[in-house]
Amino acid sequence: MVLLFDAANTLIHKPLLFEKAAGVLESFGHSIPMNFLKQRHKLVSEIIVFPDRTDKEFYRKFNSEWLYALGILPKDEILNGLFEACSYLPWEKFEDTEILSEIKGEKAILSNFHGSLTNLIESKFPGIFKEIVISENEKFRKPDSRFYLTAIEKLKVEPKDILYIGDSLKLDVEPAESTGIRSLLIDRDNEFPYFKNRIQSFKEITKFI
């Protein structure tokens, strides 16, 4: 079996993001609980798909919708504050990914990302992943099923012999299963408690191998 992973918010994340965002909102008189910030960010992320390369225009659009979802009018000064504080923060690996070095078998990545992902992953997970399939390189991106078929071809295995793990129902779980790949939702913050095929930590992966 091959374990196939999404990258952003599955293997790696920006741990300072919500702390920085909360600070900006607090400076404008909005005290928002951290769990509510994360929940609304996740829901907006399921609707607005991130491009391979982000820019200020994209973040303005995304943060406007995030603010609406939080009950805050997206005024220019708040949007500018969020962009300055939250954009292009460093990526770090999730703590529970440490277990990947203990799990035997082939591991690979399929991710909507720009070409620098290979170097980023190798710096965080040296020698762990055999194949890294990146949307910017392949010209297909999730949720396009052709992107998953590209991964199947590169991995040289049957779809039934792949277990794909990602953080999005729309971009990860649904399109993976449409190509015959088994899938799991990684749901560390318990955003989708009623979805059956999910785990809250990578430590649970071994139950499905």
Interval 83-93: pLDDT, tens: 999 998 999 99
Residues 72/59/52/124 CA torsion (nearest 10 deg): -80
Interval 24-45: pLDDT, tens: 999 999 999 999 999 999 999 9
Q: Which pTM does this prediction carry? A: 0.94
pLDDT band of 109, cuts 50, 70, 90: very high
Query: What does the pLDDT read at residue 34?
Result: 96
pLDDT of residue 99 exceeding 90, the answer is yes
Q: Report whether 107 contacts 138 (CB < 8 A).
A: no
Helices (H), the chain: 17-27, 34-47, 56-70, 76-86, 117-124, 135-138, 145-155, 174-178
Torsion angles phi and psi, residue 16, rounded to 5? -90, -10
